[in-house]
Each structure stands twice: as structure tokens, then as C-alpha cells.
Chains A and B, each alone.
Chain A
Amino acid sequence: MAAITVRGLTKHYGSLHAVDGLDLTIEEGEVFALLGPNGAGKSTSVEIMEGHRFRTGGDVEVLGYDPATGGREFRERIGIVLQETALEKELKVFEAIETYAAFYPRPRDPGEVIEIVGLEDKRDARIKTLSGGQQRRLELALGIIGDPDLIFLDEPTTGFDPSARRQAWSLIDNLRSLGKTILLTTHYMDEAHNLADRVAVIAAGRIVAEGDPASIGGRSDGRATIRFRAAGMESRELPQVAREGYDEESGEVAIETATPTAVLSDLTGWAVGRGVELEGLSVERPSLEDVYLELTAELPNG
């Protein structure tokens, strides 16, 4: 069953069409990443699904509710972690968590949630004494305290140091294993790649590509780049396929090809025949970031 179904969603601000016919289906238990530049309609779309904003047109169903009218019952089943940290700084960590727990009919145990986000040592600390990353983790805790079925995470790790990011990722993985549906927006391609079952790229108010992170935008069947070093060689010593991509000055060979298997076969045959090693040999697919940049490059508001 779908947790989120969006059909033909539009949001107009006067003549500006911030969301312009967006379609999206997110299945229950899925971790879904929404990528897109600022101004592409990403936040507006997510805020309509959260019930924070009203839509101009189209159909939106989230957990069987229309978020615009779902009210308290709907909000008891979702958790929202906004992009900006918004905390009452004078409160203590456990006070904030217990306050939020009281909003929900069946909250998780506050002590357990404090542990899940790794703030046990800060339980009695004033929020103003926490680091930025710790405050973000507290926001995560407030987002999951109600034991929601669906969690919206708006750029959950922006500003985290690498180890805090890894922690947040494992927390999100943990939520996935509990069967939660997660809608994630992010600017980090590695985050989408690591966490998401599916990703969609939004640009100019529409979805321009959608799929699993390994194959989105033709990643898996697109062109590959084969690289190795051939320092000191002359162009004519190299096999035919490698001559064009050879830069004599740096000694680097870069072959762009749609048929990497055949090219590799030629290269390795040549190298084995000459008894040389292909130094630094690598085959690269376009990264999620390359695909993303290509998809969003030509569009307005990018």
C-alpha cells in the first residue's frame, strides 16, 4: 500500500508556479529521497504533504488522509523534522522530549529515544549548551517520539560532522528496519545513495527523474569512463582505443565509452601481451551527483 500518493500537484503564488504538476508515489516502508535545487519546489511539495501548506490543485493522500484537512489524527501518525533547528533553548533535553511525548496517544519511551539519538549524557543539559549537531539529533528525537508511521526528514544532516552523519544514517537505517516510511530531502548525493530505496529529482516544480539510486537517470546504462596511467609512453605505442584519450603531458588515459566491457578486453589483452601493468586502472560510472547536475542544469530556478 502506498504511504503517499500525489497526483498533479500544483502550488501557485500569483504567476509563479512553484509546483507544477507533480506526481509521486511512496510505498509503505520505503526510504524515499527527494533531490532538487533550492527553488525547485521541493520544500513546498513536502510542506503540502506535511499539512503545513495548502495546495492550489491536484490530489494528495498521506496515510489515507488529506493532509490539508487531516488535523490532529493525521498529525499523530507523522513525524516532522524541519530543516531549521527550532528549540526552546532554556529547556533541558529530557524536558523537551517529555513535553513532545505528551502530544501523542502512544509515544515511545522518552529514555529510549534519548538513547537512540545518542544524547544520554546530555539528558539533563540545557538545550542551549548543546552543539549544533546535538541539537539536530534532539530534533530527530522530537520527530520520532510519537512513534510515527511516516517521518519527514528535511535535510536531516546538514551541518553534521562526518561521524555525526554516520550516526544519523544508522539511526535512519534503524527506523527503516522498524518498517517506518521515510521521506527525506537532501543536498548530499552520498546521503541519498546510502539511505534511499528510491530517489526522485525535482526541478521547476516537477519530477524529472525517478528510480533507485543505482540506475536513476540512466546511470547504469550510461557511458563509463575508463582511466589508467601510461606515463612516458608515446601515443602510437598504445592500443587504438586508448590513443584519442591520451594526454601525453600528464600521462593519463581517459576513455569515454558506451561499451566498457569490449574496451577493457582490448586494453587488458594489449597489456598482458606486452607484459605491463595498467597503472591505476579504474572504470567510473557517472555518479548520482553527475546525473543530478545534468538533470537540473538546464532548468530555470536552478
Chain B
Amino acid sequence: MGRDLHLIYLQIQYQNKIFWRTPVSAFFTIVFPLMFLVLFTAIFGNEEIESLGVTTAQFYAPALAVFGAASATYTNLSITTAIARDEGILKKIRGTPLPPWIYIAGRVGSAVWIALIAVVIMMTVGVVVYGVEIIGSTLTAALLSFLVGASAFAALGLMVAALVPNSDSAPAVANATLLPIAFVSDVFLVTEDGPAWMDAVGNFFPLKHFVNSLADAFNPTLSGNGFAWSGTDSEYAIGIHVAVMLVWGIGAAIVAVRFFKWDPIPDRGSRGSRKANSQG
């Protein structure tokens, strides 16, 4: 067991190295959400809300931090895992003694770690540049929500990787699901005054719960430390959010395990069949 834990640690390190050396994924995960923060505060102004004594970035920053975390887990894992399968890397790993679950644990662990870094960077910029205030009593519940949310979105990413036919379609599927849902999930704008269906759609998917479980931890109008099932309008409560994320995460993990493939999926017109034609 000690050896397996060490292997998980090495696999997380290994996946982290690959992530940081791939500038495009680092850009979309870390820099892209920061650009939103800069743009929002520039467009709408980062004025102090007098009644609350905080600036508007107090609400943007945690929501965009969650967007970065979802992109680090859901988008990145689905794309990079599908690519690794297409390139035969998964197949090669499957031929070594490394237990498959350790390889997957390494990928998930690395994705959650990078999500945490994305959140920390976003909140640090928020605090230092935009005067965001941290509320100490809510941090434990916020961290727990983060861990559940990031793990659930990692499982959803692996589910997408398991279901897409090849790595070309992975980015399309990941973005075509995450972005529209982000618009009804209080990431870019809060939809409290929007149509009821929008509210319902947002409540159905896990992203809004991920956003609110973290954003509420920074909301100065709420009381409580977060460890409650479902808050009133004036209480911070992560219970129902965590429950919804767990259901999605466990469901996604079951589908991912059931349909995950380690071998590249043969497809007509790929290099495999060209090769057969030229040599056969």
C-alpha cells in the first residue's frame, strides 16, 4: 500500500509536469478566467457596494475561480485523456504493471491540484488587486465544497473521455457543455431575476452548485460556517450543493468506469487502415 501511495504521488507529479509544459492548457485554465475578472471589473467597474462594504469583485472572483477549477478538471481531463488514448499512451500504460486505477488517480489528483492552484491564484489576485475579503469562518466548508466539486468535475471529464469517439471531438463536447451551462450557473451573471426555466436548468446541473457553494463563502451578507443542509436567504449552507455534486460525480464515475477504453478506437481512414493498405 505504501508503494502504491508513492506511485500515486509520482503519477500526480508526472501529470503536473505535462500540464505546465503545455502552455495552451495552462493558459485556458489559469489565465483565461483571470482575463474575465479583469474585463468584468473594467466594464462594470469595481465599485464598493456601500451597504456591504465590499467591492463587486467579491462576487465575480469566487465564481470565476470555480470556472477555472471546472476547466482544470472537466475540460482538461476530457481532452488530455482522449488524446492520450488516441496516441496509444493509455494502451502502453495498460501493458505495464502500473495498476490502471493508480494511473487514473494520478490524472484526477493532478487535475484537482491544478484546480486548487487556479482557485488560489484567482482569489489572491482578487484580494491583492481588487480588495476581495476572505471570511475566515467559512473556509473549511469552502474547501470541502471545492474538493467535492473538483472531484465531481474530474469524474465528469473522464466520463466525456470515455464516451467521445476520438480526441478531435473531446474539446467540442467539453466546451459545448460547459460554456452554455456556465451562463445559467451564476458564473458570469447571477440569474436570480431571470426566467424560472433558467433557474431550474441551472439548479439541475452541478456547476451552479459548485459556484454557489464557493461564492457564498465570500458573501458578507450570509451568516453561518456553511455546515448546514439548506440555508435560508441569509445563511451560508453547502449541504444541498455538495449532495447534488456527489450525485453527479458518482454517476459520472460509474459511466466512466463502464465505458472507459484503453486502446485507441479504430476508425476508418485513420493511419491504421492507411498502413494496412500500403503494406497489406
The chain A residues found within 8 Å of chain B, CB to CB, are 37-39, 50-52, 72-73, 75-76, 78, 80, 82, 84-88, 90-91, 95, 99-100, 102-104, 126, 142, 146, 187, 301-302
Contacts and interface: CB of A to CB of B under 8 A. Distances in A.
B279 A86 contact: no
Interface stretch (B67-75, B89-97, B111-119, B218-226): B89-97
A92 to B, nearest CB: 9
Given A39-B280, A52-B263, A82-B92, A90 B22 contact: yes
19 contacts: A38-B280, A39-B280, A50-B95, A52-B95, A72-B97, A72-B99, A82-B91, A84-B88, A86-B87, A86-B89, A86-B91, A86-B92, A88-B84, A90-B22, A99-B10, A100-B96, A103-B7, A103-B98, A126-B21
Nearest to A52: B95
A302 B280 CA distance: 6
B17 interface: yes
Given A37-B280, A95-B17, A103 B96 contact: yes
B97 A51 contact: no
Contacts of A103: 7, 96-98
B97 A76 contact: yes
Given A39-B276, A86-B87, A187-B279, A75 B96 contact: yes
Contacts of B22: 90
Nearest to B7: A102
Contacts, number: 69
A189 to B, nearest CB: 14
A38 B92 CA distance: 21
Nearest to A102: B10
Given A52-B91, A86-B88, A87-B89, A146 B17 contact: no
A76 B98 CA distance: 9
Contacts of B263: 52
B276 A80 contact: no
B18 interface: yes
B280 A88 contact: no
A126 B18 CA distance: 11
Nearest to A99: B14
Contact of A75 (B84, B87, B91, B95): B95
Contacts of B279: 37-38, 187
B275 interface: yes
A105 to B, nearest CB: 8
Nearest to A85: B88
Nearest to A302: B280
B223 to A, nearest CB: 47
A95 B84 CA distance: 17
Interface in B15-35: 17-18, 21-22
A37 to B, nearest CB: 6
Contacts of A100: 96
Query: Which of A88, A91, A100 has the most chain B CB atoms inside 10 A of its CB?
Result: A88
Nearest to B21: A90
B167 to A, nearest CB: 13
B94 A52 contact: yes
Nearest 8 CB-CB pairs, A to B? Answer: A86-B88, A90-B21, A80-B95, A75-B97, A38-B280, A76-B97, A103-B98, A86-B92
A146 B97 contact: yes
Interface in B213-258: none
Contacts of B275: 38
Nearest to B86: A86
A145 B275 CA distance: 29
Query: Which of B22, B84, B97, B280 has the most chain A CB atoms inside 10 A of its CB?
Result: B97
A80 B6 CA distance: 24
Contacts of B89: 86-88
A242 to B, nearest CB: 39
B280 to A, nearest CB: 4
A165 B68 CA distance: 48
A104 B98 CA distance: 8
Interface string B251-280: 000000000000100000000000110011
Contacts of B6: 102
A103 B21 CA distance: 23
Nearest to B271: A84
A87 B89 CA distance: 6
Contacts of B99: 72
Contacts of A80: 92, 95-96
Given A86-B88, A86-B92, 8 more contacts: A37-B280, A39-B280, A82-B88, A82-B95, A88-B14, A91-B17, A103-B98, A146-B97
